[in-house]
Amino acid sequence: MKKEINLKTNPAIYNVVHKSGYTINTSVTIRNGSKFRHSTIDAIDKNSFIFKKLNIAEFYIEISEAQKEVEINKIDFFESKEFLNIVNKYGLLTATHKFASELPIIDTTTESIYANFAESFPENFSGDFNEEKLYEKLIYSELLAEWKVLLDPKRSVGAKWSVNEFFLNKHFNRNINFIDTQKNEIRIFSTCLGGAIALYKYSKNNPELKSCKFCSSNFVDSSKGNIQKFCSETCRAKEYRRKKLDYEKNNLTDEHGENFNFSSMKYVDIIKKEIRAECKKCRRIGLYQKEKFSELPECMYCSKK
């Protein structure tokens, strides 16, 4: 029986982040009598940088939160300080593309060596990972339009819809596929942050940012129908237990609320088929077997007097 080949993506990538931070510069060119405005994001000091390990889901959550916060105040996100803060923290979309994509062989070994190189930078230079090639190939300036198309696809950055499609395809083409025959997987190596985000965003059905029904923390809904309600299985289980406990407490209060307070009950009491109740007369909490309590709902302390 043939095994199904799985598609494997890496939830984390290594990106170059310039220590100096970044600035947005705008220039105007005139073509055929018309003015064209171009904005670029540029590293302030292109020679001072670090390699930083980034979690793509965390990036997506953080930038989605920032977008929502800024847009409430009717400010263009890509002209806000919040946007520049994101770039300063995560780096450019294309910074490592030329360097990583020109490695002679892309496979699991190369992927591992690349991760080790990034982790130990700047001490570990050898072979294809040499200092001269790194400084030569790193990208330290890119069009602001690259961010707009990737993170706000509804926005038009050109006269025709094909301009948006062109930029999106550029991001997708910054990923390299290779086969891991040992694990029977097609792996995807993202050469830069932009490729990783494009892959994450569109493979997850253009996920929405939602608030967890249990803990209220933000999470990315990557379900097919965008119907996810919880940030994790842990929160889903906790919400189930909370609802079951509330249901039990309410039923007991309806029946015995005149004499007992059931607010101290725990979910484990339900599992053990016990009832934790505070007597309203003596104010002492007792633990009762559910079956016995149902037959004779009296305080274990007051009944001894």
30-39 confidence digits (pLDDT tens) = 777 777 788 9
Helix pair 56-72, 193-203: axis angle to 10 deg: 80
pLDDT for 159: 47
Question: Which of 17-26, 103-112, 284-293 is predicted least confidently?
Answer: 103-112
Q: What is the mean pLDDT of the chain?
A: 85
Rg from Cα positions in the chain? 28
Query: One-letter amino acid identity for 144?
Result: L
Residues 6 or more apart whose CB falls under 8 angstroms from that of 254 comprise none
Rounded percentage of the chain residues whose pLDDT exceeds 90:
47
Q: Which of 208-212, 235-239, 286-290 has the lowest mean pLDDT?
A: 208-212
Summarize pLDDT for 227-237 with one digit per residue, the tens: 888 888 999 99
Confidence of residue 82 (pLDDT cuts 50, 70, 90): very high
Q: Which residue has the higher pLDDT, 246 or 153?
A: 246
- For residue 126, which amino acid is it? S
Q: Of 107, 174, 96, give the one whose Cα is nearest residue 137.
A: 96
pLDDT at 19 over 60: yes
Residue 3 — very low, low, confident or very high, per pLDDT cuts 50/70/90?
Answer: low
> Prior bond to 122 cis, omega within 30?
yes
- According to the model, what pLDDT value does residue 304 have? 77
Q: What is residue 191's predicted lDDT score, i.e. its pLDDT?
A: 92
Report the distance separating Cα 113 and Cα 108, nearest Å. 9
Instruction: Say what the pLDDT of residue 33 is.
Output: 74
Q: Looking at the predicted structure, is the pLDDT value of residue 27 above 60?
A: yes
8-17, 141-150, 247-256, range with the lowest pLDDT: 8-17
Query: Which of the two residues, 73 and 7, has the higher pLDDT score?
Result: 73
Q: Is 265 helix (H, G, I), strand (E, B) or coil?
A: coil
Name the most confidently modeled range: 30-39, 109-118, 205-214, 277-286.
277-286
Q: What mean pLDDT do residues 78-91 have?
A: 94
Report the C-alpha dihedral over residues 147, 83, 48, 37, rounded to 10 degrees: 50
Taking CA atoms, 158 is separated from 30, 38, 75, 146, 164, in Å, by 15, 11, 21, 12, 7
The per-residue pLDDT for 253 is 96
Judge whether residue 69 has pLDDT over 90.
Answer: no
Alpha carbon 142 to chain centroid distance?
A: 24
Which pLDDT band holds residue 125 (cuts at 50, 70, 90)?
Answer: low
Please report the pLDDT score of residue 128 as a whole number: 62
User: For residue 127, what pLDDT is reported?
Assistant: 61
In which residue are the tokens 């105007």 written? 28
Give the pLDDT score at 154. 61
Q: Tell me the pLDDT tens digit for each residue of 173-204.
A: 999 888 877 778 888 889 999 999 998 888 77
Structure tokens at 260: 């007992």
Using alpha carbons, list the distances in angstroms from residue 89 to 57, 142, 170. 15, 16, 23
Handedness of CA 203, 204, 205, 206 (dihedral sign): negative
